Amino acid sequence: MEYTMETLARECAACQKCELCKTRTNCVFGVGNPNADLMFVGEAPGEQEDLSGTPFVGRAGQLLDKFLLAVDIKREDVYIANILKCRPPKNRDPLPEEEAACIGYLREQVRLIRPKIIVCLGRISAMKLINPAYKITKEHGTWVERGNCLMTAVYHPAALLRDPRKKEDMMEDMKAIRKKLEELGCL
């Protein structure tokens, strides 16, 4: 089937491929510019995201917004999604079978958007999209190329809420993302 973002979102909202469909309030498909050069990918929606149907609107999302503002990137210019589209109970880590059930939606989002840069928000996203052995404390901010897309990972904003000492590293990574966008002629 040839998807549009709208048909993909509708299919995702009706998904029953795993048990998370039974406990979700809303499917959290993704939000932002469907032609974005920059895409952020987290692991899964949290409570606020499940309630609103929008990714990264809780405390972690508000912190992400501050970092975007600090490097002069508008949230409405990027696209934000998660690997999982439904919230795992008590915000636990996604199970492999849940990731397997959902990853096709993310792949199709990437295919439709065609971002030049994908930024993994946190270890779990980086392990799924960059390297299963990814070590976020050692490798954050390093770049890899996949097809016509550059990829990197930064600390998940929720991790920064737990350990504010990592905010300095996050700021440097965000500056590097901004610089890479400029080098690619996106800004």
Note whether 135 and 142 are within 8 A (CB). no
Which of the residues in the chain have pLDDT under 70? none
Q: What is the pLDDT of residue 1?
A: 77
Per-residue pLDDT, 128: 97
The pLDDT value given to residue 78:
98
State the residue range of the domain holding 79: 26-181
The total of structural domains in the chain comes to: 1
Sign of CA dihedral 129, 70, 93, 41: negative
- Residue 158, pLDDT score: 96
Would 4 be classed as within a structural domain? no
CATH number at residue 164: 3.40.470.10
pLDDT for res 74: 97
Print burial letters for 39-59: b (CB count within 10 Å at least 16), e (below 16): bbbbbbbbebbbebbbbbbbe
